[in-house]
Structure 1
Amino acid sequence: MSAEPLTYTLLDDDGFEAIAAAHPEVRIPIEQTPAWVLFEQALGRAALGIWAYTDSSGVLIATASFVQVRRRLRESVVVVNGPVWFAERTPAAERVLMETVRDQFDDHRSVDPLYVRMQVATPQFPATGPIEHGWYEREIVVDLAMSEAELLKSFRPNARNSIRRAQRNGVEVRHIPRTEWNSVFVAELFPIMRETAERDGFQSFDSSYYETLLNVLGDHLRMLVAYRDGEPLSWLITTEYRGYSVYYFAGSTHQARRLFAPYLLLWEAFRVLREAGNTACGLTGIVSENYPELANVTTFKRNFSRDVVVVPTTYDIPLRRRRYAIVAGVLRARRSAAAAAGSARQRGMSALKQLQERRGSGGGP
């Protein structure tokens, strides 16, 4: 006999704040707050609100903020870095929540998603996939509840040495006033972000995305930039909510790495975040099975803490299982073809380079 489905209720801001105030022990990610709903709406996305899920006794089980995402071949509803659990997250409780969410959006009047995507700690029916992964699965967390001296001592020797090297190299960190955020970002920081993305092999958002973030979420953000002789080298943006901070976005130049600027920049961020009352700082994703490309940033982040937190993986909850299987198969085939073409292109470039090198050394064709 299956458990009774949960009751779901759309929360207004006051309702959400009442729940948050009644559960100070629960860490609520900023992506699951009304402030983030406003950000999604400012981006032109369809935010479907924050919903509370209670059992038959009226006990709060979880909350979840949903965003409608439209992409070619599929429409989905996504919970970004959630749901937030207020009751014990057992496999049975998680299955009931997933089944409730499936029924909720199967009957929803204004959206017709192919699937709902959310984090799942125990993979089980009705979860499957996902078609693509949507959030990191492991992260480094730095404890800011200790003294400043203890915090510095907790770093690996490489981090402490790199901080001192940056100082000797003349690197200085500036806290950018909120009134200057947009102008500084557009003129100085976004070019660094593009350089970082090209170097590390990822695609950054357009500048307008970050500018919207700064404008809408300003009460929860800080912007710090490392300079040398007036030249911007490295920058970061942090978020803060209920005593938990996140090293959210960052960029650095080639020169920044040579001067060890990112180490001094992050150390200064820890200092100001700790002084502001934050007890921890998440450094976001590190390498995992589904994110091998995060290996480079993992080396940097491990210098600041040994505390690795496992984050539940995102899975899909199909509402149209047959169509979902067809779409997933089509996308897998496209990715395989693209990967094969990329490998062939790489082999061709390698062969051409070898041929050019032989000819340049007089080796003949």
Structure 2
Amino acid sequence: MTPAPYRFQQLSREDFEALADRHADVVIPLEQTPYWADFETRLGRDPYGIWAYYDGDKLVATASFLRSRRRFRPSLVAVNGPTWFAERTPDAEARLVQTVQAQFRADPGVKPLYVRMQVEHRRDPVTGPLEHGWYEREIVVDLTPDTEKIFASFRSNARNLIRKAEKLGVQVRTVERDAWAKVFRTELFPIMQETAARDGFSSFDSSFYETLLEELGDHLRLMVAYVEDKPVSWLITTEYRGYSVYYFAASSRDARKTNAPYLLLWEAFKVLKDAGNTACGLTGIESENYPSLANVTTFKRNFSKTVVTVPTTYDIPLAPARYKALAAVLRLRREAPAKLRAIAGRVKNLPTSAKARRD
């Protein structure tokens, strides 16, 4: 017998804050809060609200959804969510999937092809996703011990590089909030551009980071490492309810010569600990769906042995036939260039006589 869907209720900002206050022991990702929704709005995106899901009067989970309007695939996306307040059993999660599916099929205000969110226990109708959107493993640093014990927990390589950076004159400073946007635009964004070009990824433009700093300033820190008063490495951390995240960072070639990123992150840990944070997530590391994170994995593993598995992001189709057809088209589009290159390679390697007969 299929269990009844959970009861759900949309939350106002005041509702959400009251609910969060009643559950102080639950880690709520910043991306699942009204404050992040405000940031998305500033970027021109379309938050669709935060819902709480109840089993009777018992709170089970909350989810903040962002409306995506990509061509042929309108969707609702819970970025780094949902947040679970009850035990996340396979049956409880299947029931939430069923609830979300029924909820947005019946919602006249939105007609998504699918809902995307993290699912730990995959069952039908959960599938996909059409593209991956969140990391699946991360390193977490415990900030509860005293600073000497935290430092001692690092790999010897990291401890040595931190000491070398200090000897080479690297200085770490926390940028004052009223100067964030100007400092980022004029001094720090060029370092991000250099990092992106060197490591082969596309960064956001400067306005994205400036908007992040302006809108979420109550939950952020901007710290910079300098060598001879020249910025060489920077990081942005988030903080919410005692949990911090090493969110964005970039380093120049000069930073690598002086080991500045190691000292910068160590100084950030101390600042975050002093502010009352009990842990710092270092965000994504290499996994099956994210082999490209291998480069940053080596750096992050220097600071902690604790690897946390994050539930994979999947799709919940609301129109299964259309979703299946779209998935087939996208798969063909992704695979076609490789197949064409393989065919061209086989033709190129044919013996001359075989090519002549074919012609």
TM bucket normalised to smaller: over 0.9
Rate the CA distance shift 1:146–1:74 in 2: closer, same or farther, 3 A: same
Root-mean-square deviation (CA, aligned residues, Å) is 1.5
Q: Identify the residue that residue 155 of structure 2 maps to in structure 1.
A: 156
TM normalised by structure 2 equals: 0.93
Q: What pairs up with 1:7-46 in 2 under 5 angstroms?
A: 7-46=7-46
By how many angstroms is 1:337 displaced?
2.8
Secondary structure at 1:262 match in 2: helix
Q: Which moved more, 1:35-44 or 1:199-208?
A: 199-208
Look up the equivalent residue of 1:280 and give its one-letter code.
A
Look up the equivalent residue of 2:287 and give its one-letter code.
S
Secondary structure at 1:77 match in 2: strand
- Structure 2: how far apart are the matches of 1:170 and 1:80? 40
- Structure 1: how far apart are the matches of 2:142 and 2:13? 30
Secondary structure at 2:69 match in 1: strand
Q: Identify the residue that residue 6 of structure 2 maps to in structure 1.
A: 6
TM normalised by structure 1 equals: 0.92
CA deviations 1:43-82 (Å, max 9, x no partner) are: 1111011100011x22111000000011122111000000
Q: Which moved more, 1:219-228 or 1:103-112?
A: 103-112
Structure 2 gap segments, 5+ residues each? 346-359
- Structure 2: how far apart are the matches of 1:8 and 1:66? 14
Rate the CA distance shift 1:195–1:113 in 2: closer, same or farther, 3 A: same
Q: Which moved more, 1:334-343 or 1:146-155?
A: 334-343
By how many angstroms is 1:255 displaced?
1.7
Q: Which moved more, 1:142-151 or 1:65-74?
A: 65-74
- Structure 2: how far apart are the matches of 1:290 and 1:35? 29
Rate the CA distance shift 1:344–1:200 in 2: closer, same or farther, 3 A: farther
Q: What pairs up with 1:113-152 in 2 under 5 angstroms?
A: 113-152=112-151
- Contact preservation (8 Å) 1:95, 1:126: no
By how many angstroms is 1:243 displaced?
0.3
Secondary structure at 2:64 match in 1: strand
By how many angstroms is 1:202 displaced?
1.6
- Structure 1: how far apart are the matches of 2:51 and 2:337? 39
By how many angstroms is 1:341 displaced?
7.1
- Structure 2: how far apart are the matches of 1:342 and 1:38? 45
Rate the CA distance shift 1:195–1:303 in 2: closer, same or farther, 3 A: same
Structure 1 gap segments, 5+ residues each? 348-365
- Structure 2: how far apart are the matches of 1:222 and 1:339? 43
Q: Identify the residue that residue 232 of structure 1 maps to in structure 2.
A: 231
Matched, 1:91 2:121: no
- Structure 1: how far apart are the matches of 2:337 and 2:15? 47
CA deviations 1:214-257 (Å, max 9, x no partner) are: 11000000000111112111100000000000000000111211
Q: Identify the residue that residue 359 of structure 1 maps to in structure 2.
A: none
| Percent of paired sites with the same residue | 62
Rate the CA distance shift 1:193–1:343 in 2: closer, same or farther, 3 A: farther
Q: Identify the residue that residue 218 of structure 1 maps to in structure 2.
A: 217
- Structure 1: how far apart are the matches of 2:97 and 2:338? 33
Secondary structure at 1:232 match in 2: strand
Q: What pairs up with 1:1-365 in 2 under 5 angstroms?
A: 1-55=1-55, 57-339=56-338
By how many angstroms is 1:291 displaced?
0.3
By how many angstroms is 1:167 displaced?
1.1
Q: Which moved more, 1:328-337 or 1:32-41?
A: 328-337
Number of residues paired by the alignment?
Answer: 345
- Structure 2: how far apart are the matches of 1:343 and 1:215? 49
Secondary structure at 1:71 match in 2: coil
Q: Stretches of 4+ moved more than 3 A in 1?
A: 338-345
Look up the equivalent residue of 2:22 and give its one-letter code.
A
- Structure 1: how far apart are the matches of 2:16 and 2:339? 48
Rate the CA distance shift 1:180–1:88 in 2: closer, same or farther, 3 A: same
